[in-house]
Amino acid sequence: MKVKVIKSHLGEGHFPTFKKGTTVEMGEACTHFLHWFACDISGHQTYVPESFINNDVLIRDYNPTELVQCEGDILEVHEIIHAWLIATNENGDTGWIPAEVVISLECD
């Protein structure tokens, strides 16, 4: 699915990919996005969707890097997880972007 960015998104920096089986130190639930939690993964402060963890361990590979995008950019969406998209931009960069800053370009 293709989407268009309607509000610029700055992201929170680049992160390494954490492998399935990595321990996650869980923090508080995110108040703005349901089913997301603040956490520490291998010394990195970030957020993780609850569906990616079981018993404080990642159940799939996870890279929390967010896409830095400007209004008008076009993205290809790969997954939608708890109001966030995993998408690739026209430069080939893949990362997260909140669904609230994009609109679908697909017709019904």
pLDDT in the model for residue 68? 96
Cβ–Cβ contacts within 10 Å for residue 15, how many?
17
The ranges assigned to domains in the chain are: 2-12+65-104, 24-58
Separation between Cα atoms, residue 93 and residue 9, nearest integer Å = 14
Cβ–Cβ contacts within 10 Å for residue 70, how many?
11
Q: What stretches in the chain show pLDDT beneath 70?
A: 108
Q: What is the CATH class of 2-12+65-104?
A: mainly beta
| 54-68 CB burial, b ≥16 within 10 A, e <16 | eeeebeeebebbbbb
Note the pLDDT tens digit of each residue in 80-107: 999 999 999 999 999 999 999 999 998 7
| pTM score | 0.92
